[in-house]
Amino acid sequence: MASDKVTPIQQAATSVRKAEGKLWRDCADMSAWHRRSLGGALRSTQAAICGLQEMTGVLLAFWQSRAKDSLTAGQQLAACDSPEAALEIQLEYAGAMLQAGADEFVRLHALGGRILADVLVPPARPVVAAKTGPAPGAALAA
């Protein structure tokens, strides 16, 4: 009969309330998941930025030391009195430059690996970049 297929209003209301409660719990779970995901993405991005700043500082220090060594080699060449001595200075400089470059790339490889690990598995707390000097424009304000 047709009356056997009719759902009583109380049963329908209870069913709707259960579904509505589940929907709200699911929304709250999804909201918490998005919040955690966004927090992880922000920590990961901050770790990448801090790591790249560190790598830039390391590279700048390396190239500054290479520039100083180049100036020293240039002064030695200027004071040189024979072609054999000049060749010896150039060979010493080239060997030192090659060794310093190889050592620096080993350091950069290790630093890059650490940065990648921090980006892929960000720390639980945000990474705080260490201040290396006054803020840009601070000298102008003084």
The 10s digit of each residue's pLDDT in 38-81 is 888 888 888 889 999 999 999 999 999 999 999 999 999 999 89
Let me know: does 93 contact 69? Beta carbons within 8 Å. Answer: yes
pLDDT given for residue 88 in this prediction: 94
Helix (H, G, I), strand (E, B) or coil at 8: coil
* Single pTM value for the model: 0.59
Mean pLDDT of the chain: 79
Let me know: does 43 contact 127? Beta carbons within 8 Å. Answer: yes
44 alpha carbon, distance to own chain's centre: 7
Both ends of the chain: CA-CA distance in Å? 92
- Tokens representing 89 are 């200075």
Higher pLDDT, 32 or 46: 46
DSSP 121: S
Counting residues of the chain whose pLDDT is more than 70, the rounded percentage is 63
Spell 51-62 as b/e; 16+ CB within 10 A means b. Answer: beebbeeeeeeb
Model confidence at 118, in pLDDT bands (50, 70, 90)? confident
Angle, helices 9-78 vs 83-120, to 10°: value is 170
Return the top range by mean pLDDT from 25-34, 36-45, 89-98.
89-98
Segment 74-101 shows an average pLDDT of 93
